[in-house]
């Protein structure tokens, strides 16, 4: 992470559905735009039920059908030191955000906020698809793809624009 200009952490509850989707969707765009050396990306969950697991099989399949390979991702739980390592900590819903706000140390100078408002959606939370059907996983992808575009534009206009060119 030494040479990256911006570090982004996506957070949901279990780290097996929404945040790994955001992680993989955003990472693909970042790589395609030649920014992989400048943007560090990770994802985590506020809960600890699925530590070390791959994304949910429904998440893997829905993502694969749109060209995203999430099979290398493994679930982990958010930790306090994430606030030292990440500039943007982006929550999928208000419950995740509230849990993160409880963990947030006073010296954190980054951005802790909801992810979805970076896109154009009328909604500002990504609904938890875990207990529902396959259409929920498609909806997560639709929302996340749009917000990922907005986040990339935001970083290009802001932090990446302000950074000196990388050597």
Question: Which residues lie near ligand 4NP (CB under 6 A)?
Answer: 12-18, 45, 49, 128, 130
Shorter beta-carbon distance to ligand 4NP: residue 16 or 114:
16
| 17 is known as an active-site residue | no
Shorter beta-carbon distance to ligand 4NP: residue 18 or 40:
18
CA 34, CA 84: separation in Å to the nearest integer? 25
Give the CB-side neighbour count of residue 160, counting CA atoms within 13 A: 21
CA 155, CA 115: separation in Å to the nearest integer? 13
Minimal distance, residue 8 CB to ligand 4NP, in Å: 17
Minimal distance, residue 69 CB to ligand 4NP, in Å: 18
| 58 is known as an active-site residue | no
Minimal distance, residue 19 CB to ligand 4NP, in Å: 6
The catalytic residue among 5, 17, 18, 56 is 18
DSSP assignment letter at 15: S
Shorter beta-carbon distance to ligand 4NP: residue 37 or 49:
49
How many other C-beta atoms are found inside a 10 Å radius of the C-beta of residue 148?
24
Query: Among residues 66, 46, 87, 55, which one has the least CA distance to residue 144?
Result: 66
| 29 is known as an active-site residue | no
H and E: helices and strands count for the chain: 6, 4
Residues annotated catalytic, as ranges: 12, 18, 128
């Amino acid at each position: 992470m030494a040479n990256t200009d911006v570090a982004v952490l996506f957070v949901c509850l279990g780290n097996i559905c929404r945040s790994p989707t955001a992680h993989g969707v955003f990472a693909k765009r970042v790589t395609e735009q030649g920014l992989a050396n400048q943007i560090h990306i990770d994802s985590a969950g506020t809960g600890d039920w699925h530590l070390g697991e791959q994304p949910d099989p429904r998440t893997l399949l829905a993502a694969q059908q749109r060209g995203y390979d999430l099979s290398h991702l493994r679930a982990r739980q958010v930790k306090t030191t994430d606030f030292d390592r990440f500039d943007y900590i982006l929550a999928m819903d208000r419950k995740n955000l509230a849990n993160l706000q409880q963990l947030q140390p006073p010296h954190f100078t980054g951005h802790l906020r909801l992810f979805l408002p970076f896109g154009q959606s009328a909604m500002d939370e990504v609904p938890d698809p875990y207990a529902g059907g396959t259409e929920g996983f498609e909806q997560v992808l639709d929302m996340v793809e749009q917000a990922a575009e907005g986040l990339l534009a935001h970083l290009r206009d802001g932090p990446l624009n302000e950074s000196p060119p990388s050597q």
